[in-house]
Amino acid sequence: MDTSDKYRLRIQNCVGTIIDVHSSISDEYENEEFMSQFQGLEKAIEALDMSLVSEGDILMVEQATNALLGEFKVFFETGDFGHVYGYVLN
């Protein structure tokens, strides 16, 4: 797997995680516009020229994803929303 493929996978994982978290709370806070924007982002990632992307760019996406997940953490720790996944992924 070359660097471009690795970068694309890392970005796809970030976006997928955000979609999964949103889906797990969507019953409580449904927002179609939010989901459609991230689904559009998934499609854009497929067409993105990864040769123009640097490790620093990927790290910024990962840091932003981690910051967002940190904001959601308190909701999941209280047990109000249950689990994002029905089983441990990693």
Does a structural domain hold residue 70? yes
Distance CA 62, CA 54 (A): 13
Asked whether residue 10 is domain-assigned, the answer is: yes
Specify if 42 maps to a domain. Answer: yes
For residue 89, is it within any domain? Answer: no
d(CA 84, CA 47): 28
**What interhelical angle do 3-25 and 32-47 show, nearest 10?**
170
Q: Do residues 19 and 35 lie in contact, with contact meaning Cβ atoms separated by under 8 Å?
A: yes
The pLDDT of residue 64 is 93
* 8-48 confidence digits (pLDDT tens): 999 999 988 888 887 777 665 566 777 777 778 888 888 88
pLDDT in tens, 40-78: 888 888 888 888 999 999 999 999 999 988 888 877 777
Domain count along the chain: 1
- Within a domain: 39: yes
Contacting residues for 61 by C-beta, under 8 A, at least 6 apart: 10, 11, 14
Q: Which domain holds residue 66?
A: 3-77
Is residue 86 one of the residues assigned to a domain? no
